[in-house]
Structures are given as C-alpha cells and as structure tokens.
Amino acid sequence: MPQSKSRQQAEIAFDRVQSQFFARGQAVEELQTEEQARQAKTQRLRDARLARDEARDQTR
C-alpha cells in the first residue's frame, strides 16, 4: 500500500533527526574517550614527576 506524500516527508524528517541524534551520541562518546585518555596521561606524568622529585630530594 503506497504511503501518502506527507507520511513520506514525515518519515524522511524523522530519519534525519534520528541520524543526528545517533551522530551526536557518537561524538559525545568520542569526546569522553579522549578526556579519559587525557586524564590518564596527566596522572602518569604527575606520578612520574612526583617520583622524580622524591628521588631528587632523597639524594640531597
């Protein structure tokens, strides 16, 4: 059974909105992954700096 033109337009509009919604969700996930990686790297560098400073203080 053929759909009416208005129904087809509504389906197309819905598909666009749904696609944008999923694309936005994927972008948010990517940003969160990058932020977690940045935080992990920052923590590693902080730990390395503290270990270096502690070793330097013990030799003085």
Contact (Cβ atoms closer than 8 angstroms) between residue 3 and residue 11: yes
Report CA-CA distances (Å) from 31 to 19, 25, 36, 37, 48: 18, 10, 9, 10, 26
**What contacts 3, CB < 8 A, 6 or more positions away?**
11
- Whether pTM > 0.85 for this model: the answer is no
Q: Which residues of the chain have pLDDT under 50?
A: none
- How remote is the C-alpha of 21 from its chain's centroid? 15
Q: What is the pLDDT of residue 1?
A: 57
| Token pair of 32 as six digits | 């969160």
